Structure 1
Amino acid sequence: MYTNHEPWGKKYTDFHHGTGDEYYINDRFLNCLKTIGEGNFQIFPVTVLPEEKPYFILNILNVIDCVDRELSKYNLWTEEDNRPDKLGKFRGFDKMVLDRSKVPKGIHIFRVYGYQIVTVVTKELVEEFEKNDVKGFSLIPLG
């Protein structure tokens, strides 16, 4: 799932990407998670000004090591990058393929281990978003 990075302005959608890695969601987004039985997350209520809109900060607790390194095309952080904190971790992907056998049943939203800037959602959750007309992000299919 990727956000469209649009400013809040007058457009209060169901999902917003914050200034860091936090996600702001509203009740419609939250209800979709609950409807499909996803429960491995935390929410923290916040009020978005100036119109005092109720939102939640969503903390996704599922982090899964499921990248199929054989089929994916990616770059890793190297010593030349001068980022010892990221050495050997994923730097970027030209093509990300997931090994679905490593994703436990019942998990519908998660971050990718070693590349947590990507949030993955299942087809079931996407269908729930579509059924409820949830807005504020773009979806990119993964292999």
Structure 2
Amino acid sequence: MGIRSDLEANFDFEIIDEFLDHYAMMVEIMEPLIIDLGIAERYHRSIEELFRIFHNIKSASGYLQMEPMVRLATFVEDALEQLRTRDAIVNDETVTWLISVADMFMQWQEDFKMDNELSKIHFSLLILPDMEKA
């Protein structure tokens, strides 16, 4: 039994369907927003939107009791909070890490579609890049 089956056994179909629709939209726009973090004119809008996305995923996955997703979304949200106070664009190491994070959330989207268990979080995602160096 996979993640979709687990959710359907414990939550109303409409809640699950709404979550999956919103999740798909959020995952789809993650990568373009991450890439925009390297463009000064787009930095603030992109960092705020990414923060909102990860906050929403954290909240919704918490409600649906998907702990791996809650943990990673919380970790990323905390990192983005640090970046929100900066005026400088992010470095390549940070962009690469965030793209890898987005890939993990895309993998989870595939897990939902295929009704697999949620894939394990890659250990490398739990190591923050040096967000200070240019």
Same fold per superposition (TM over 0.5): no
Structure with greater helix percent: 2
Greater relative contact order structure (CA < 8 Å, 6+ sep)? 2
Task: Tell which structure's C-alpha radius of gyration is larger.
Answer: 1
TM-score normalised to the size of structure 2?
0.29
